[in-house]
Structure 1
Amino acid sequence: MSSPENILVCVTQQITCERLILKAADLRNELRGELFVIHVAKNEWNFLDNIKEGEALEYLFKISKSVGANLSVLKSDNIVQTIVDFVNENKITHIVMGESPNDHKENNFYNELKSLLNKVEIHVIPQAGIG
């Protein structure tokens, strides 16, 4: 029997990440693995100070629960390394992430993840109807 396929969704503190969680849930149903949702916040960032972002995370937490996933919120100044560690600890085989707006630094984020996790399949979901 092959080992389970575990899926990790990387979310930001935006309600629009709901679509990433739902896409990943579909993938999980296909692969019959476990679904994990992660948000990594920089150490100096305090979501308690920002009501809107706190509400968005609360909303994403509910969506995650509704598809049987846990939302982990981790604090770190090295977001890529934190995700890599999480992937290794939880035997993640697939990552679902959103396309970054106008190809700037998050593309480096994708490239860094790809280079550090060459056995993990990364699914980049295009932005929905934003144009």
Structure 2
Amino acid sequence: MNNTIMVCVTQQRTCEKLIKKGAALRKNEGDELIIINAVNENDKFLNLQNDSEALEYLFEIAKEVDGELQVIRTKNVLDNLISFAKDNNVDYVILGHTNEENKVNVFYEKFNEKLPFTEIIEV
């Protein structure tokens, strides 16, 4: 049985560790690695050269690990990511953790609530 692994990233270069964690979860040749960058449609997107460089970097890392990078704009990032995971029968979701002390990762909580049969991994 093949697995689908979804890695949720921003345009930050620090997301490489999330992508590599997702790649490491592959057990079979047919396992699918989807790297997804969802941006709120009201936020500025690729407005600075640094943003485009970071996005290009994500494309390169995705290519290195034979993953598929998808970039989407949406009104509600969290709901869209959850719908994407459901629609694509995702087995694993990789998320970054919050660096703020005593702050709950809302994405982690919602993914666990809405996707009870998907393993959510916070890196």
TM-score normalized with structure 1 length: 0.85
Higher share in helix: 1
Return the alpha-carbon distance in structure 2 between the equivalents of residues 31 and 93 of structure 1.
13
Q: Deviations over 1:50-69 (max 9, x none)?
A: 22122111101110011111
Return the alpha-carbon distance in structure 1 between the equivalents of residues 91 and 28 of structure 2.
10
Q: Do residues 104 (structure 1) and 107 (structure 2) align?
A: no
Return the alpha-carbon distance in structure 1 between the equivalents of residues 87 and 48 of structure 2.
30
Q: How many residues align?
A: 121
What percent identity do the matched residue pairs reach?
36
SS of aligned partner of 1:21: helix
SS of aligned partner of 2:91: strand
TM-score normalized with structure 2 length: 0.90
The counterpart of 1:25, out of the listed 23, 26, 47, is: 23
**Matching residue of 1:128:** none
Q: Deviations over 1:56-107 (max 9, x none)?
A: 11101110011111110111121111111111222110011111121536x1
Match for 2:92: what amino acid?
A: H
Return the alpha-carbon distance in structure 1 between the equivalents of residues 39 and 103 of structure 2.
19
Q: Which runs of 5+ in 1 are unaligned?
A: 126-131
Return the alpha-carbon distance in structure 2 between the equivalents of residues 124 and 4 of structure 1.
22
- CA apart distance, 1:47: 2.2
Q: Deviations over 1:9-63 (max 9, x none)?
A: 00011001011101111111x3551100001001022323122122111101110
Runs of 4+ aligned structure 1 residues displaced above 6 Å come to none
Return the alpha-carbon distance in structure 1 between the equivalents of residues 38 and 46 of structure 2.
15
Return the alpha-carbon distance in structure 1 between the equivalents of residues 86 and 19 of structure 2.
20
SS of aligned partner of 2:25: helix
Q: Which moved more, 1:46-55 or 1:87-96?
A: 46-55
SS of aligned partner of 2:116: coil
Residues 38-117 of structure 1 correspond to what in structure 2 (within 5 A)?
Answer: 38-102=36-100, 103-104=102-103, 107-117=105-115
Q: Which runs of 5+ in 2 are unaligned?
A: none
Over the aligned positions, Cα root-mean-square deviation in angstroms equals 1.5
